[in-house]
Structure 1
Amino acid sequence: MKFLFVHQNFPGQYLHIVRDLLAEGGHEIVFMTEPNRNHMAGVRKVTYARPPATHAAVHPSAREFDVAMRRAEAGYAGAKQIKALGFVPDIIIGHHGWGELLNLVDVFPGVPILGYFEFYYRLDGTDVNFDPEFIMPEAQFGAVRAKNGVNHLAIALEQYGQTPTAWQWQTYPAWARDRITVLREGVDLDICKPDPALRKQKLSIGPLTVGPKQRLITYVARNLEPYRGFHTMMRALPAILQARKDVVVSVVGGDEVSYGAAPVSGTWRSELLAEVGDRLDLSRVHFMGRVTYEDHVKLLQRSDSHIYFSYPFVASWSLREALAVGAPVIGSDTATVTEFVHDGATGLVTPSLDHAALADTTLRMLEDRALAAKLSAGARDYATENLDMKRYLRAFRAEIERIVGKKMVAEIHPPRRTAKDAAKTKTAKAPKPKAVQPPPPPARKRRVVAA
Structure 2
Amino acid sequence: MKILFIHQNFPGQYKHLAPALAAAGHQCVALTLRVKEPTTWNGVRVLPYQIKRKQGQGIHPWVTDFDTKVIRAEACFHAAMHLRDSGFTPDIIVGHHGWGETMFLRDVWPKARIGLYCELYHLANEEHLGFDPEFQSDSTTLDALRIRLKNLNNLVHLQVADAGISPTQFQAGTFPPEWRQKIEVIHDGIDTDLVTANPEVRFALPDGSEVTRRDEVITFVNRNLEPYRGYHIFMRALPRLLRERPNAKVLIVGGDDVSYGARPPKGQTWKQIFIDEVRGQIPTPNWQRVHFLGKIPYDQFIKLLQVSRVHLYLTYPFVLSWSLFEAMSAEAAIVASDTGPLKEAIRDGENGMLVDFFDGDGLVEKCCALLEDAEMRRSFGQAARKHIVQNYDLRSQCLPRQMQWVDHLAGLEPQPIRD
- Shorter-chain TM band: over 0.9
User: Is this contact kept in 2: 1:403–1:440, CA < 8 A?
Assistant: no
Picking from 316, 319, 328, the partner of 1:323 is 328
Provide Cα deviations, 1:252-298, integer angstroms capped at 9, x if missing partner. 00111111122335222222222211222111000111111111111
Larger Rg: 1
The answer as to 2:91 corresponding to 1:90 is yes
Structure 1 unmatched ranges of 5 or more: 406-437, 443-451
Percentage of identical aligned residues: 38
* Bigger shift: residues 230-239 or 352-361: 230-239
What are the equivalent positions in structure 2 for 1:381-392 lying under 5 Å apart? 381-390=386-395, 391-392=397-398
One-letter amino acid of the counterpart of residue 278, structure 1: G
* Distance (whole Å) between structure 1 residues aligned to residue 74 and residue 203 of structure 2: 51
Structure 1 residue 211: Cα displacement: 4.9
Q: Distance in 2 between matches of 1:182 and 1:212?
A: 36
Cα 1:126–1:396 shift into 2, 3 Å: farther
The alpha carbon displacement at 1:126 in A equals 4.7
SS in structure 2 at match of 1:13: helix
Residue 19 of structure 2 corresponds to 19
Take 1:292 and 1:158, find their aligned partners in 2: how far apart are those partners? 35
Residues 163-213 of structure 1: CA deviation (Å, up to 9, x unaligned): 111001111112321111111221111110111223xxx542333632554
Does 1:439 find its partner at 2:413? yes
Contact 1:221–1:252, Cα closer than 8 Å, also in 2: yes
Q: Distance in 2 between matches of 1:213 and 1:75?
A: 51
Aligned position for 2:351? 346
Asked whether 1:159 is paired with 2:175, we answer no
Q: In 1, are the aligned partners of 2:220 and 2:311 still within 8 Å (CA)?
A: yes
String of CA shifts for 1:419-441, please: whole Å, max 9, x gaps.
Answer: xxxxxxxxxxxxxxxxxxx7278
User: 1:32: which partner in 2?
Assistant: 31
Q: Give the stretch that moved more between structures: 306-315 or 65-74.
A: 65-74
Q: 1:33 to 1:213 in 2, by over 3 A?
A: closer
Output the CA distance in 1 between the equivalents of 2:326 and 2:255: 19
What is aligned with 2:129?
A: 128
CA deviations on 1:75-109 (whole Å, 9 max, x unpaired) are 22222211222211111000111222121112211
In 2: Cα distance, 1:143 partner to 1:441 partner: 30
1:270 aligns with 2:276: no
Partner of 1:290: 295
Q: Which residue of 2 aligns with 1:57?
A: 58
Matched with 2:231 is 230
TM-score (normalised: structure 2) = 0.92
- Give the 3-state SS of the residue equivalent to 1:30 in structure 2: strand
Aligned twin of 1:370 = 375
What is the RMSD of the two structures over their aligned residues, measured on CA atoms? 1.9
Q: Which secondary structure state, in structure 2, belongs to the residue aligned with residue 279 of structure 1?
A: coil
Please give the alpha-carbon distance, in whole angstroms, between the structure 1 residues aligned to 2:42 and 2:393.
25
The offset of 1:53, in angstroms, is: 3.0
**Unaligned stretches of 5+ residues in structure 2:** none
Q: Is the aligned partner of 1:8 residue 2:14?
A: no
- Supply the distance in 2 between the matched residues of 1:440 and 1:135 (Cα, whole angstroms): 42
List per-residue Cα deviations over 1:346-382 (Å, max 9, x = no partner): 2110010110110101000100111111000001100
Q: Which has the higher contact order (CA 8 A, sep 6+)?
A: 1
* C-alpha distance 169-211 of structure 1, shift in aligned 2 (>3 A): closer
1:163, 1:183 within 8 Å by CA — same for their partners in 2? Answer: yes
Give, as a single letter, the amino acid of the residue that structure 1 aligns with 2:269. Answer: T
Instruction: Give me the whole-angstrom Cα distance separating, in 2, the residues matched to 1:300 and 1:241.
Output: 20
8 Å contact kept, 1:33–1:45: yes
* 1:322–1:8 distance in 2 versus 1, CA, 3 Å: same
Using the TM superposition, name which of 312-321 and 271-280 deviates more: 271-280
Cα deviation per residue 1:296-327 (whole Å; 9 max; x = unaligned)?
11110111100010000101110111011111
Equivalent-residue separation in structure 2 for 1:243 and 1:344 (angstroms) = 22
8 Å contact kept, 2:164–2:184: yes
- Between 299-308 and 82-91, the greater mean CA deviation after superposition: 82-91
Which residue does 1:180 correspond to in 2?
A: 183
* Map of 1:259 onto structure 2: 260
Check whether the contact 2:162–2:409 (CA below 8 A) recurs between aligned residues.
no
**Distance (whole Å) between structure 2 residues aligned to residue 180 and residue 203 of structure 1:** 40
Give matches, 1:171-210, under 5 Å.
171-198=174-201, 203-207=203-207, 209-210=210-211
Q: 2:402 aligns with which of 390, 396, 420?
A: 396
Could you tell me how far 1:55 is from its partner in structure 2? 1.3
Report the equivalent of 2:119: 118
Matched ranges for 1:235-246 at <5 A = 235-246=236-247
CA offset digits 1:52-80 (Å, max 9, x no partner): 33112211111121222222222222222
| Cα distance change on mapping 1:256 and 1:141 into 2, 3 Å | same
CA contact (8 A) 2:203 2:300 kept: no
Cα distance, 1:41 vs structure 2? 4.7
CA shift at 1:140, angstroms?
3.0
Q: Which sits farther off after the overlay, 274-283 or 160-169?
A: 274-283
